[in-house]
């Protein structure tokens, strides 16, 4: 990669993908018509979210198939569908055609996505899903731990983007957190040298986001739970605006 394109990427704004799963969690807890998906979409896009991220899980615990169709019809930014590398999800994504797909590991019993993809052990499965999605013109991202050995295999899989799992970092404190931050920085630099776009997400809030946002090679953060919790006090639009501002300030 030449120095100019490298610099261009370094100076790009940091984008925010708003993860709507936790809004839909509230709706599904009582099977009510509220909070309304489209009202949410309009509000967060108006407030400056750069993408709408949603995870259609195999057990349909929050996002439903109809939600995926509605987001595709009404999203005016970018639609980022998180999905497991299964035949069912690959078929649905090929019908819906989101702009981006983030392939994630999925276990039925987990509370939320735990850990990144096993890019080495599950190589064939992830490679097949990536190839099919790529053929449909979908930009594929792999949700992955900041692990150099795994990142090294991503170009062979054919995905142009990785999303670094920040969950471990978010759960640690003190020097252990600092060490994990360094792992994230090294993983970002390594992926950037391979020509990959680097996104990050999971467990990010107003306290732990600035150190991640300050990593200039990261292109996008996907954040959900904190923003929904914050919106209880300030409203969803303000929660998005605050996060965008915090992200921009971390880059100055
Ligand atoms: N990125 C990925 C791949 C995820 O699975 C999730 C959780 O759904 C997020 C980002 C957002 O995490 P959080 O809700 O903790 O902000």
How do residues 107-123 score in pLDDT, each as one tens digit? 756 666 668 999 999 99
Catalytic residue (one of 45, 55, 165, 220): 55
List residues near ligand 1 (CB under 6 A).
Answer: 19, 21, 55, 82, 102, 104, 112-113, 143, 163, 201-204, 222-226
Predicted local confidence at residue 115, as pLDDT: 80
Q: For ligand 1, atom 6, name the residue with the nearest CA.
A: 202
Mutate which of 20, 82, 102, 184 to test ligand 1's pocket (most atoms within 8 Å of Cβ)? Answer: 82
Predicted local confidence at residue 252, as pLDDT: 85
Query: Ligand 1 centre and the CA of 112: distance in Å?
Result: 8
Low-confidence stretches of the chain (pLDDT beneath 70):
1-11, 108-114
- What is the C-alpha separation between 156 and 127, in angstroms, rounded? 8
Residue 82 catalytic? yes
Predicted local confidence at residue 5, as pLDDT: 46
Has this prediction a pTM greater than 0.75? yes
Q: Which residues contact 8 (CB under 8 A, 6 or more apart)?
A: none
Residue 149 catalytic? no
What is the residue-averaged pLDDT of the chain?
A: 94
């Amino acid at each position: 990669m030449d120095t100019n394109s490298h610099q261009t990427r370094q100076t790009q704004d940091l984008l925010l993908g708003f993860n709507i799963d936790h809004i839909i969690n509230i709706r599904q807890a009582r099977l009510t018509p509220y909070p309304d998906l489209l009202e949410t979409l309009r509000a967060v896009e108006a407030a400056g979210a750069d993408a709408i991220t949603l995870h259609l899980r195999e057990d349909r615990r929050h996002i439903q198939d109809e939600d995926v169709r509605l987001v595709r019809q009404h999203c005016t930014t970018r639609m980022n569908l998180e999905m497991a590398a299964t035949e069912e999800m690959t078929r649905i994504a090929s019908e819906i055609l989101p702009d981006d797909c983030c392939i994630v590991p999925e276990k039925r019993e987990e509370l939320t996505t735990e850990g990144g993809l096993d890019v080495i052990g599950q190589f064939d499965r992830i490679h097949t899903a990536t190839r099919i999605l790529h053929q449909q013109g979908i930009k594929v991202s792999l949700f992955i731990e900041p692990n150099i050995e795994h990142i090294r295999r991503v170009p062979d899989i054919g995905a142009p983007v990785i999303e670094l799992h920040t969950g471990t970092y978010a759960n640690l404190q003190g020097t252990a957190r600092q060490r994990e931050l360094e792992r994230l920085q090294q993983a970002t630099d390594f992926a950037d040298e391979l020509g990959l776009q680097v996104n990050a997400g999971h467990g990010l809030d107003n306290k732990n986001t600035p150190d991640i946002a300050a990593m200039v090679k990261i292109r996008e953060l996907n954040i959900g739970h904190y923003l929904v919790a914050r919106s209880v006090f300030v409203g969803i639009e303000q929660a998005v605006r605050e996060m965008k501002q915090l992200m921009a300030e971390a880059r100055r």
